[in-house]
């Protein structure tokens, strides 16, 4: 989930802060039943000259006379669709860094070719949005209430009043394989060739990476992994529930540090807040750190308590994107990197 701050401790605000951490048969076999594909009965129709429809994870069916081409999407969704050959007109959410480069959440998007409607939490330029004459709005959802991620609550009615149907892909409390499949279905409905060599090779790479991670955890079951994120005053430790990546990794055997339910309560069930003085509360052999631009990166952490952590001293720190770009091309390396880290990890905790 994104590392953003909301002004009030609302449910949406908790989800925003949580981002400081944090979230077919072969794929289903890689996890457990909770992560199996539930989108196989979604009424997505392949792009054609006729009517288009797609049933999203809110149970709502978006419809149009033809497959939408004026698409506006949360940047991570746009990046995933781009990997499948579906381009968007506009994006919202973290798209470019302060130095003008593409944000990590933009993936391989050419950010100079899309209209950026807002680059930070709460930003969404409705006038620019309407000027694009959008025929589809797409975002992810980090709760079970159907909240479209980075679509501001205070202006949601005005945004939806522009008239474009909306689609929400859930990334809440499920394993990665499921939203990956749902994004593939959406891309297919919008005209993507999901049988292309590029897509099939990326999916095979993902499946192989999942098998590798499972083998690594089986070979080294004692390696403890901590998922964290750094801010100026707080170090966040994620629980393995709710986040699509951590739930999937856990199903593959990863032995995560698990804060108690009471410790997670302040973070809405997503994470525990620790002061830097208490950053050594949990013992870990491998640390996965939030790699988004909203978080302080490991190389820039100056706290002495951090530098003394055994995993840090051993160089056993890797990157984690709590908001994975939902294409097989972008998710396969996440599995590969974690598998490699566990394969090479020394027991230091």
Contact 333, 302 (CB under 8 A): no
| Burial of 43 (C-beta count, 10 Å sphere; 0-12/13-18/19+) | exposed
List all residues 6 or more positions away from 213 whose beta carbon is below 8 Å from its beta carbon: 249, 252, 253, 254, 335, 336, 338, 339, 342
- Residue 274 has φ and ψ, to the nearest 5°, of -125, 145
Q: Is the pLDDT of residue 20 over 80?
A: no
Helix (H) or strand (E) holding 72: strand 71-74
- Crossing angle for the helix pair 75-83 and 177-189, nearest 10 degrees? 70
Work out the pLDDT band at 1, boundaries 50, 70, 90: low
Task: Supply the pLDDT for residue 13.
Answer: 44
Question: What's residue 173's pLDDT?
Answer: 96
Per-residue pLDDT band for 39 (boundaries 50, 70, 90) equals very low
Q: What is the pLDDT of residues 126-164, one digit of tens each?
A: 999 999 999 999 999 999 999 999 999 999 999 999 999
Contact 326, 80 (CB under 8 A): yes
Q: What pLDDT digit, counting tens, does each position of 160-218 carry?
A: 999 999 999 999 999 999 999 999 999 999 999 999 999 999 999 999 999 999 999 99
Pairing mode of beta strands 286-290, 235-238: unpaired
Q: Considering the chain, what percentage of its residues have pLDDT values greater than 70?
A: 86
Residue whose token pair is 């690594």: 216
Angle at alpha carbon of residue 142, lines to 113 and 45, rounded to 5°:
65
| Cα 105 from Cα 28, distance rounded (Å) | 26
Q: What angle do CA 10, 178, 153 make, to 5 degrees?
A: 25
Count Cβ atoms within 10 A of the Cβ of residue 121 and give its class: 0-12 exposed, 13-18 middle, 19 or more buried.
Answer: buried
Task: Kindly give, in sequence order, each residue whose CB lies less than 8 Å from that of residue 136, ignoring residues fewer than 6 positions away.
Answer: 62, 64, 68, 70, 71, 72, 164, 165, 166, 167, 190
20, 268 contact by CB (below 8 A)? no
pLDDT band at 49 (very low <50, low <70, confident <90, very high): low
């Amino acid at each position: 989930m994104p590392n953003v701050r909301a002004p009030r401790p609302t449910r949406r605000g908790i989800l925003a802060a949580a981002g400081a951490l944090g979230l077919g048969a072969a794929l289903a076999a890689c996890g457990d039943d909770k992560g199996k594909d539930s989108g196989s009965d979604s009424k997505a129709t392949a792009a054609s000259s006729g009517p288009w429809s797609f049933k999203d994870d809110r149970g709502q069916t978006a419809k149009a006379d033809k497959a939408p081409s004026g698409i506006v999407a949360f940047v991570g969704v746009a990046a995933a669709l781009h990997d499948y050959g579906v381009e968007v007109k506009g994006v919202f959410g973290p798209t470019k860094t302060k130095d003008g480069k593409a944000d990590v959440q933009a993936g391989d998007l050419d950010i100079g070719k899309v209209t950026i409607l807002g680059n930070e939490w709460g930003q969404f330029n409705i006038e620019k949005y309407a000027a694009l004459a959008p025929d589809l709005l797409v975002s992810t959802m980090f709760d079970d209430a159907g909240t479209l991620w980075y679509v501001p609550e205070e202006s949601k009615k005005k945004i939806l009043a522009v008239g474009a149907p909306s689609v929400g892909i859930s990334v809440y409390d499920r394993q990665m394989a499921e939203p990956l499949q749902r994004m593939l279905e959406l891309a297919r409905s919008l005209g993507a060739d999901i049988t292309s060599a590029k897509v099939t090779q990326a999916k095979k790479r993902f499946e192989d990476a999942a098998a590798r991670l499972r083998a690594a955890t089986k070979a080294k079951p004692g390696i403890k992994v901590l998922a964290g994120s750094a801010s100026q005053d707080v170090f966040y430790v994620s629980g393995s529930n709710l986040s699509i990546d951590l739930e999937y990794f856990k199903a593959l055997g990863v032995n995560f540090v698990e804060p108690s339910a009471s410790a997670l309560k302040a973070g809405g069930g997503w994470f525990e807040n620790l002061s830097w003085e208490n950053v050594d509360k949990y013992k870990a052999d491998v640390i996965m750190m939030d790699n988004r631009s909203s978080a302080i990166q490991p190389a820039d952490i100056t706290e002495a308590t951090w530098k003394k952590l055994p995993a840090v001293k051993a160089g056993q720190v890797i990157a984690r994107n709590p908001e994975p770009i939902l294409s097989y091309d972008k998710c396969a390396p996440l599995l590969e990197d974690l598998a490699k880290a566990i394969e090479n990890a020394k027991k230091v905790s």
